[in-house]
Chain A
Amino acid sequence: EPEVTQTPSHQVTQMGQEVILRCVPISNHLYFYWYRQILGQKVEFLVSFYNNEISEKSEIFDDQFSVERPDGSNFTLKIRSTKLEDSAMYFCASSRVYSNQPQHFGDGTRLSIL
């Protein structure tokens, strides 16, 4: 069964540094998402992406965050200047279409900010 893949599985970064998290969505899916989950808490929506542009974003997704689909397969999340509170598990997800469709999640990248 096709899967969403994320790399790296764990990223350790100094506060203030830039970090890029990478995702390869399922190949015939059209909608891509980033979520984060602070340890022990619920999953929080960050951003959705369709047709090479942001579709929706949450209040968490401020100017420090950006997303990109640099080629036909990768989908990236960049955090420009990391803060301690950015430490979390970041999940990429994809769906074939939007609204009422199941989302398929990757295994996540655990981001630790020192």
Chain B
Amino acid sequence: GQQVMQIPQYQHVQEGEDFTTYCNSSTTLSNIQWYKQRPGGHPVFLIQLVKSGEVKKQKRLTFQFGEAKKNSSLHITATQTTDVGTYFCAGPSVPGANNLFFGTGTRLTVIP
């Protein structure tokens, strides 16, 4: 079955350092979404990528979708304590499906 793995599983950074999480799918994805879940909170939508090789930026966050549409990354520049949480990538289980198959997540801790 489909697998979506993220690395690293955990990341501790000093405030101000950069952070990157990588998402790898066993199958080609028609699109990929990124969600952030604060400790004790619910997933919150960050962004969606659809095109092969697409790059999108949101302030300090940069999202990339791989050329083969099987991998993606999220890079945060100059982390802040408000960036703490678990970052999940997610995509439809099969093209056209109206569900989300979540990745394993990367839990980010930012040390002040």
Are the CB atoms of B99 and A56 closer together than 8 Å? yes
Cα A100 to Cα B95 in complex, Å, equals: 10
Are the CB atoms of A100 and B48 closer together than 8 Å? yes
Q: Which of A45, A91, A105 is B101 in contact with, Cβ under 8 Å?
A: A45
Task: Map CB proximity to A onto B36-55 as digits: 1 under 8 Å, 0 otherwise.
Answer: 01000111110010100000
The answer to whether B80 has its CB under 8 Å from any CB of chain A is no
Are the CB atoms of B44 and A105 closer together than 8 Å? yes
Q: How many residues of B contact A (CB 8 A)?
A: 25
Known A43-B43, A104-B45; judge A99-B103 contact (CB<8 A): no
Known A99-B92, A100-B48, A102-B48; judge A45-B99 contact (CB<8 A): yes
Chain B residues near A42 (CB, 8 Å)?
A: 88, 102-105
CB distance from B63 to the nearest CB of A (A): 14
List residues of B whose CB falls within 8 A of some A CB: 30-31, 33, 37, 41-45, 48, 50, 88, 90, 92-93, 96-105
List residues of A whose CB falls within 8 A of some B CB: 31, 33, 35, 42-45, 48, 50, 55-56, 58, 91, 95, 98-100, 102-108
